[in-house]
Amino acid sequence: MGVSTATISNAFNRPDQLSAKLRERILRDAAKLGYHGPNLAARTLRRGESDVIGVILSDSLTYSFSDPVANQLLQGVSDVLVERNKHLLLLSSHVDSSEQRGAESLPDGFILYGTIDQATFERVKRTGKPMVLVDFESDEVASVNIDNEKGAYKIASHALAKGTHEVAVLGLKLIDFDRVCRLTQADLDIEYKEISRSRLKGFTRAAEENGCSFKPDSIWHIPINNTTNAEIAAREALTKIPRPNVLLCMSDVIALTAIRVARELGLSVPKDVTITGFDGIPESERSNPPLSTVCQQSIEKGKLATKMLLDGESREQVVLETKLELRGSTN
Amino acid sequence: MGVSTATISNAFNRPDQLSAKLRERILRDAAKLGYHGPNLAARTLRRGESDVIGVILSDSLTYSFSDPVANQLLQGVSDVLVERNKHLLLLSSHVDSSEQRGAESLPDGFILYGTIDQATFERVKRTGKPMVLVDFESDEVASVNIDNEKGAYKIASHALAKGTHEVAVLGLKLIDFDRVCRLTQADLDIEYKEISRSRLKGFTRAAEENGCSFKPDSIWHIPINNTTNAEIAAREALTKIPRPNVLLCMSDVIALTAIRVARELGLSVPKDVTITGFDGIPESERSNPPLSTVCQQSIEKGKLATKMLLDGESREQVVLETKLELRGSTN
DNA sequence: TTGTAAGCGTTATCAA
DNA sequence: TTGATAACGCTTACAA
């Protein structure tokens, strides 16, 4: 009552600009009037800063919430955001772009996770706001990645170290097709920009070095990283003749499903078939037998990407080390 | 070029207000100029509507992303939001309230999930915006809940149906204490407003009806629904003398951990010990043995709450049916 | 069919 | 230490 809007603004944002007594009175009166402090929309409009960070997921939101790897990333992201008093707006590149545009104007910066389609990527880039890519790369844009080829090579080398092997690969997003299927040589000749292709390279190199290379028809394409799809592929692979005794999987979800299917088929892991994963999700430690896998520290990835974004290191391209976690599903 | 701001606004929002030709020209020129469509902050300020829905989680964001039940709820929520072209702002009631205030001014409505602290609840209520509670109730506010007492009663009745039993309960958030511990009678005399108390009532009633009631020192309190805490409690319970042959768990995460601990201790499930869960998370189907549990359809809960919010049914208090899923961990 | 102008709630600047 | 004022970018009556 009887103070200007400017003074009220100062009461909320710059305590040093007015007497403690007046500030207190204003805050008390505001509470009484049911005023909840500055309106974010107006404040953003005026300041050009919203304190909101947008995370753009390459998959649909609904799917992402069901994916343990995405969840770990988001854990890391939100950890840092909360610490820095920023808010989290979740977006998906799957959404109709005209609707998305509006939402993309709000955040102060973006984290883009996964293989983002060109249109979305360009659109976000044109906002001119800082951004950090995760599991995705582009010149001149900051990013956090792992060395997928190397990680895949390491675990495959371990699995194929001794003896002769019949190898099958349960691959994730290897081609642009929405059903589970095996590959052909033609599929592999088409370039496809997914990290899974790097993982395949690592598997292939390890196999060649160990004298047990595999043909395209021993490689399964799984379009979505969920149990349903993994189960179809695992069942096909494990009933194939000759039956593979090494199953190289491109995700832990796939590998855990494969372990279960193997048990259902009466196969012993790792005696009859060795199974490897990729990701290092929490569940991989707890399966029976526990899963040998490549840990990619998704939580750390989320934290690091968020820190890079907030600290304005918008040029660095970080490649994180993976860690081999050898457990009961191999050997 | 040579058109007014109003016409541009119409080009984006009301195609029928101008000629198709002009509209097209405007859109094309806008793209060329790097204009990305209406700014959300400004639009919100003017329209009083942001198309953003806030989900306020009772636990920290970081924890919520690791919790399968919360993830299922968020799946349901985002499913409907995407369908209706709304955006998702994730908030936590754990955050410093002065920071939260600003963010809470943006959304058009709220979904509050879990046992929200009084201060946050009152603050959100005072915004006057529509809200729907999930797993939480309050007079005059729309909510979606399940009948926890009944669900717990049903599964406990099944587990305790035949024979005599030594029962232990692995409970979730039964008292206000941040470590795993057993309860005392005094603990139970203090009122505590968590849904877990209803589940305990259901367990107790079923036990009494089957002549195998249990004492407070057979009830474990687990403060956070994660594997680490569950493992501590499960180990204590399964090594207690006399050893329980029925373990009633208040979440699937706890029960799945208990199954694993039982195996590590050389106990056979369900022969040596019967174990029941609560929630119906996807993993419960895939454990070995599969878990008998109470399905609460979290995805549906999320969908329903979101629809109620968006359709303005801000009065209804819905109680959803739970479904008993009897699998290999009992009988 | 198109343009003009007011106002949404803030905050930064400047003057009192 | 406080107050007046303009501007942030948009939408919507209303006027042309």
Q: What is the pLDDT of residues B122-152, one digit of tens each?
A: 999 999 999 999 999 999 999 999 999 999 9
Domain co-membership, A254 together with A162: yes
On whether the CB atoms of residues A322 and A151 are closer than 8 A, the answer is yes
Confidence bin at B2 (pLDDT 50/70/90) = low
> Which residues are CB-neighbours of B276 under 8 A, at least 6 positions away?
B155, B156, B158, B159, B246, B247, B248, B249, B255, B291, B292, B293, B294, B329, B330
Dump pLDDT digits (tens) for A92-148.
988 877 778 789 999 999 999 999 999 999 999 999 999 999 999 999 999 999 999
Q: Which residue(s) pair with B325 in the sheet?
A: B293
What percent helix, strand, coil does chain A show, rounded to 5? 45, 15, 40
pLDDT, position B98: 74
Mean pLDDT along residues A264-293: 96
Check whether B285 has a pLDDT greater than 70. yes
Shortest CA to C1' contact from A41: nucleotide: C9
Query: Which tokens hold the place of A274?
Result: 């060795």
Rounded to whole angstroms, the distance from the CA of residue A160 to the C1' of nucleotide D15 is 80
Mark whether B68 and B29 lie in a shared domain: no
Same domain, yes or no, for B285 and B167? Answer: yes
Bigger pLDDT: A27 vs B1: A27
Note whether A204 and A251 are within 8 A (CB): no
Task: Quote the CA–CA distance of A255 and A86 in Å, as a whole number.
Answer: 36
Q: Which nucleotides of D are covered by protein (CB under 7 A)?
A: 1-13
Judged against a pLDDT cut of 70, whether residue A1 lies above it is answered with no
Task: Determine how many CB atoms are found less than 10 A away from the CB of residue B24.
Answer: 12
Pairing of β B323-325 and β B293-295? antiparallel
What lies within 8 Å, CB to CB, of A308 at 6+ separation is A132, A142, A144, A314, A316, A318
The answer, for B42 touching chain A at a CB cutoff of 8 Å, is yes
Query: How high does pLDDT run on average in chain A?
Result: 93
Q: Are residue B206 and residue B264 in the same domain, yes or no?
A: yes
- Please check the confidence at residue B1 and state whether its pLDDT lies above 50: no
Question: Is pLDDT at A70 greater than 50 in this prediction?
Answer: yes
> Domain range for residue B18?
5-38
Q: For residues A100 and B10, what is the distance between their CA atoms, to the nearest angstrom? A: 18
Please determine, for residue B47, whether its predicted confidence score (pLDDT) is greater than 50.
Answer: yes
Contacts of B71 in chain A (CB under 8 A): 65-66, 71
Please give the average per-residue pLDDT across B74-86, as a whole number: 96
* Contact criterion met (CB < 8 Å) for B78 and A96: no
Nucleic strand C under 7 Å from the C-beta of A6: yes
Closest to A156 measured CA to CA, from A167, A172, A164? A167
Regarding whether B303 and B277 lie in a shared domain, the answer is: no
Cβ-based burial of B287 (10 A; exposed 0-12, middle 13-18, buried ≥19) = buried
Chain B: closest CA distance from residue A177 (Å): 23
Residue A251, exposed/middle/buried by CB under 10 A (0-12, 13-18, 19+)?
buried
Tell me whether strands A109-113 and A131-134 are parallel, antiparallel or unpaired: parallel
Strand D contacted by B268 CB (< 7 A): no
CB pairs under 8 A between A and B: 161
B69-81: average pLDDT:
97
Say yes or no to pLDDT of A207 above 80. yes
**Shortest CA to C1' contact from A9: nucleotide:** C11
> Nearest residue (Cα to C1') for D7?
A46
Say yes or no: A168 and A277 in one domain.
yes
Which stretch of A92-96, A206-210, B154-158, B294-298 has the lowest confidence by average pLDDT? A92-96
pLDDT > 90 fraction of chain A, expressed in percent and rounded: 81
**With 50 as the cut, is the pLDDT of residue A314 above it?**
yes
> If you count them, how many residues does chain B have?
331
| Count of domains observed in chain A | 3
- Let me know if residue B326 belongs to a domain: no
Q: What angle do CA A174, A55, A126 make, to 5 degrees?
A: 90
- Residue A73 three-state SS: helix
| Mean pLDDT computed over A266-291 | 96
Residue B279, sorted as left (phi over 0), alpha (psi -120 to 50) or beta, turns out to be left
Mean pLDDT, chain B, rounded, equals 93
Whether B293 shows a pLDDT value over 60: the answer reads yes
Alpha carbon of A63 to those of A58, A199, A226: distances in Å? 10, 22, 9
Which candidate from A36, A72, A126 shows the least CB-CB separation from B101?
A36
Q: Does A145 touch chain B (CB under 8 A)?
A: no
Task: Give the pLDDT confidence score for residue A2 in this predicted structure.
Answer: 61
Whether residue B238 sits in one domain with residue B122: no
Whether B98 and B13 share a structural domain: no
Q: Are residues B155 and B288 in the same domain?
A: yes
Is B174 among the domain residues? yes
Shared domain for B179 and B199, answered yes or no, is: yes
Over 90: is that where the pLDDT of B157 sits? yes
CB B284 within 8 A of CB B291: yes
Q: Does a structural domain hold residue A325?
A: no
Lowest mean pLDDT among B13-22, B102-111, B306-315: B13-22
Indicate whether A172 and A247 sit together in one domain: yes
Confidence grade of residue B87 (pLDDT, cut at 50, 70, 90): very high
Higher pLDDT, A18 or A43: A43
Q: Report pTM.
A: 0.94
Name B residues 15-74 whose Cβ lies under 7 Å from strand D.
Answer: 37-39, 42-43, 45-47
B255: amino acid identity, one letter: A
* Helix, strand, coil in percent for chain B, rounding step 5: 45, 15, 40
> Between vectors from CA B165 to CA B162 and to CA B166, what angle results, nearest 5°?
165
pLDDT digits (tens, 9 = 90+) for A210-263: 999 999 999 999 999 999 999 999 999 999 999 999 999 999 999 999 999 999
- Whether the CB of B3 is less than 7 Å away from nucleic strand C comes out as yes
Of B223, B236, B230, give the one whose Cα is nearest residue B249.
B230
Does one domain contain both B224 and B312? Answer: no
Amino acid B275 reads: I
> Residue B104: which CATH number?
3.40.50.2300
Is the distance from CB of A304 to CB of A318 less than 8 angstroms?
yes
pLDDT at residue B108 in the model? 97
